[in-house]
């Protein structure tokens, strides 16, 4: 989730009775709500590859909850002491223990807001570097952001109005998550209708993620299809930025990905339609055949970092007939429809990795971005 949303949630929590615990609690909540994203400094220092390796890593795990909470509380406590020397406080300062408690709430809320996004987070890092997600929310949810902004602008007249307004805002926030969760499940239930006869049978046990937390990379390789055949490895619903009722269904096949947008408000989904209007005719296909060249490129350090982050990596190759060089491009299928928004958020170059190989298999160039 974006940092403005995290900050506004911290402000909203500070307007509940938690903010009455003493001076500095709201500051601790806001700072702690953003603290886990301090790992963004790795991107400034080491560039995109370092950002992929560390973002939503240890600062979003158990050690981050403890360490960042204590650090945030210490910063707020020290700042209050400095301010107190200049001017007597208007109300009692919160004890250090209460500042720590408020900071823990802020850090946990940050992590719990990242988890339901399609981007995911590494909950157990550094003890485990696996990614976890629930696929309910986009990276930026305009409705969630709008509710939090409105709640911050109104209800500041009295303490009672602040408490009442905060309760209303938090209720609306919970409602937004509930609507997204229901719509996500509905989208997956309707997904087979979208692909129709083009959808193959499952390779192994069915893994449609209609509820609960999903994780990657897989602990075991997916079941391979029989020679000359294809099968369905996985299926997921990725949220859109505009509407909670519009989703992108990702069908992970043994040799490709097929994507199909779904609008849950489209009445045709609930009834039979003529053959000429069948939804499966509108699917978009992304080849994903791992040739020897792709496997060689996947062993490069940059590709390893990208593949460790990517939930649905699609590989495509282009060979230069004049030089014999091969370009292998890995794309994270989750974000192929979100280029404009993610680029505006400064992340658009992270969802594609390119490796160029010489005829002898040696790497000529490797970089993130198109």
> 196 or 4: whose pLDDT is higher?
4
How is residue 249 written in tokens?
């269904």
Q: What is the mean pLDDT of residues 138-156?
A: 89
Q: How many CA atoms lie within 13 A of 1 on its CB side?
A: 29
pLDDT for residue 191: 86
In terms of Cβ atoms closer than 10 Å to its own Cβ (0-12, 13-18, 19+), residue 124 is: middle
Percent of the chain with pLDDT strictly greater than 70: 88
pLDDT for residue 25: 95
Q: What pTM did the predictor assign?
A: 0.89
Residue 303 has pLDDT above 90, yes or no: yes
Q: Are 141 and 5 in contact (CB under 8 A)?
A: yes
pLDDT for residue 239: 93
Beta strands 256-263 and 246-253, pairing class: antiparallel
> 211 or 99: whose pLDDT is higher?
99
Q: What is the mean pLDDT of residues 36-64?
A: 93
Q: Which residues, listed in sequence order, are joined to residue 253 by a DSSP beta bridge? A: 232
DSSP 8-class letter at 248: E
Reported as a single tens digit per residue, the pLDDT across 207-244 is 555 557 899 987 766 666 666 788 898 899 999 988 99
Q: What is the mean pLDDT of residues 92-108?
A: 95
- Domain ranges in the chain are 3-133, 186-287, 292-368
Q: Are 29 and 73 in contact (CB under 8 A)?
A: no
């Amino acid at each position: 989730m974006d940092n403005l949303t995290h900050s506004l949630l911290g402000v909203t929590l500070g307007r509940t009775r938690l903010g009455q615990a003493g001076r500095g609690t709201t500051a601790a909540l806001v700072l702690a709500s953003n603290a886990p994203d301090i790992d963004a400094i790795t991107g400034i220092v080491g560039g995109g590859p370092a950002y992929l390796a560390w973002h939503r890593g240890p600062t979003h795990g158990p050690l981050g909850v403890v360490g960042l909470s204590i650090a945030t509380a210490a910063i707020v406590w020290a700042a209050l002491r400095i301010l107190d020397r200049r001017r007597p406080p208007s109300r009692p300062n919160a004890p250090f223990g209460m500042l720590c408690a408020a900071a823990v709430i802020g850090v946990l809320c940050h992590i719990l807001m990242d988890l339901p996004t399609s981007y995911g987070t590494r909950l157990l890092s550094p003890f485990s570097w696996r990614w976890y997600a629930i696929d309910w929310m986009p990276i930026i949810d305009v409705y969630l952001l709008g509710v939090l902004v409105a709640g911050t602008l109104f209800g500041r007249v009295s303490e009672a109005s602040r408490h009442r307004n905060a309760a209303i805002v938090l209720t609306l926030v919970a409602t937004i998550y509930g609507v997204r969760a229901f719509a996500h499940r509905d989208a997956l239930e309707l997904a087979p209708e979208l692909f129709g006869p083009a959808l193959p049978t499952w390779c192994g046990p069915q893994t449609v993620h209609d509820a609960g937390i999903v994780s990657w990379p897989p602990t075991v390789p997916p079941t391979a299809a029989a020679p000359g055949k294809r099968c369905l490895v996985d299926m997921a619903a990725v949220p859109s930025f505009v509407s909670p009722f519009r989703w992108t269904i990702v069908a992970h096949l043994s040799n490709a990905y097929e994507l199909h947008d779904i609008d849950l408000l489209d009445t045709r989904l609930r009834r039979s339609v003529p053959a000429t209007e069948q939804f499966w005719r509108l699917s978009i296909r992304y080849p994903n055949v791992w040739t020897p060249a792709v496997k060689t490129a996947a062993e490069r350090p940059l590709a390893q970092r990208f593949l460790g982050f990517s939930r649905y990596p699609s590989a495509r190759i282009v060979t230069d007939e004049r030089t014999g060089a091969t370009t292998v491009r890995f794309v994270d299928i989750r974000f192929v429809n979100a280029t404009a928004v993610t680029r505006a958020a400064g992340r658009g170059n992270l969802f594609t990795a390119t490796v160029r190989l010489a005829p002898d298999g040696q790497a000529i160039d490797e970089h993130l971005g198109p």
